[in-house]
Every structure is written in structure tokens, then in C-alpha cells.
A and B are shown apart, each in its own frame.
Chain A
Amino acid sequence: GESVGLHLPTLSVQEGDNSIINCAYSNSASDYFIWYKQESGKGPQFIIDIRSNMDKRQGQRVTVLLNKTVKHLSLQIAATQPGDSAVYFCAETNSGTYKYIFGTGTRLKVLA
């Protein structure tokens, strides 16, 4: 299927290198954050989440860092692989509500 986000900022990394994707969130009341991966022609897929009482959370090859002081979120992907090529975007919400605010996304390109 055709990709969404053809005009998104793009991060190109060499296969095997680490990737860092950043996101600035907007609502200081947000207490729950999610990173999604969206491959071409597919819906967003959950990668990792973090709550505001944490600064860091690690998954398999992925780490999310949260800096509430500057309202900044980052996703680190270790040893980036070709299968990591996709659009990545963050989402924020206050767990007392059901509404999410989504970032516009960053396209990650993995160079062989």
C-alpha cells in the first residue's frame, strides 16, 4: 500500500547503528506516552509506553526516555535493522481521559 507521511522529517541510519527519534509533547498534564511504528500500508503498531512517574523504560532493542521538565520524549532503537524502517510517532494522553494527541511522525530509513 501507499505510504502515509511522504513529507515527514526523515532520519537515515546505517544498519547496525543506533537510532534516536525525538518527540516534543504538548500537554503538561499528560501522564501516559506511547510510541507507535507504522509501516507502509499498515496501521500504527504499539512499540513501547511509559508513564510519567518514570524517566526511562526499556524493551527489546528499544528504550523510551521521558523528560517532563522540557516535555520531551525520545525513542532509542539499538542495532537498527532493515525491518525497523517505518514511520514512528509518539502519542500522549492523560489517563483520566480517552483522548490522545499524536505527533506527526518521523520516517526512519535504514541504509544497508
Chain B
Amino acid sequence: GAGVSQSPSNKVTEKGKDVELRCDPISGHTALYWYRQSLGQGLEFLIYFQGNSAPDKSGLPSDRFSAERTGGSVSTLTIQRTQQEDSAVYLCASSLGTDQFFGPGTRLTVL
């Protein structure tokens, strides 16, 4: 499809395990965002990639969170030693200008 895709759609893990969430942006979009959406909360900015520039990681909540974007396309968000408070929907968006196009999200549940 032509939209942003994310995988997996749902992930259930045990506290302390590591997880990897994947985002495939729209082809040609140079900007990629990761957000976290918790129940009753707005979207929380995590990290921003733009072309070959250094990413803005200012929204990552702790050093357990990291993200990569390989070849200016696919991105992976990694959460190490997951905690119950990491449970949320993780959304990815890509953009060529001001408009962001969102993927369907990955629902992460940490037991």
C-alpha cells in the first residue's frame, strides 16, 4: 500500500524484555516521527528523523528507548527492559512537508 505501515500491530511482552517496533514510511518522505499515545493522553513526541541529519531524540523518556532509521527509510524503535508504564500505542508518522501521515500504530502491552 501507499501509506505508512507499522508492525507488529499488537505486542504483548513481559516486564524486563526488549521489544522492537517497526515503521515503514511513505516512499520519498524525508521526515519520520515516533509518538507515544497513552490512554486519555495526547500524542507524546519521542523522536524525529529528517534526511541524513542527526535525529532529535529529545522526547525519548529514558535511555531504555532508542530508534534508528536505516537508509533514510525504515525505522525501528527499540525499548529495552520494558516496564509496565511503557504500555501504550506507539505511532509512526512520515512527512514531506507540514502534513504528517500516520501509521496504524503498535499497541504495546507490558505484563
Q: Do A and B bind each other?
A: yes
Chain A residues with CB under 8 Å of chain B are 1-2, 4-8, 32, 34, 36, 41-46, 49, 89, 91, 93, 95, 98-105
Q: How large is the interface on B (under 10, 10 to 19, 20 to 34, 35 or more residues)?
A: 20 to 34
Q: Nearest B residue to A93 by beta-carbon distance?
A: B98
Chain B residues with CB under 8 Å of chain A are 4, 9-10, 31, 35, 37-43, 45, 48, 50, 56, 89, 91, 93, 98-105, 107
B residues within 8 A CB of A36?
102
A residues within 8 A CB of B37?
4
| Interface contact A104-B41, CB-CB below 8 Å | yes
B residues within 8 A CB of A91?
43
Q: Nearest B residue to A90 by beta-carbon distance?
A: B42
Roughly how many angstroms separate A100 CA and B101 CA in the complex, as a whole number?
A: 13
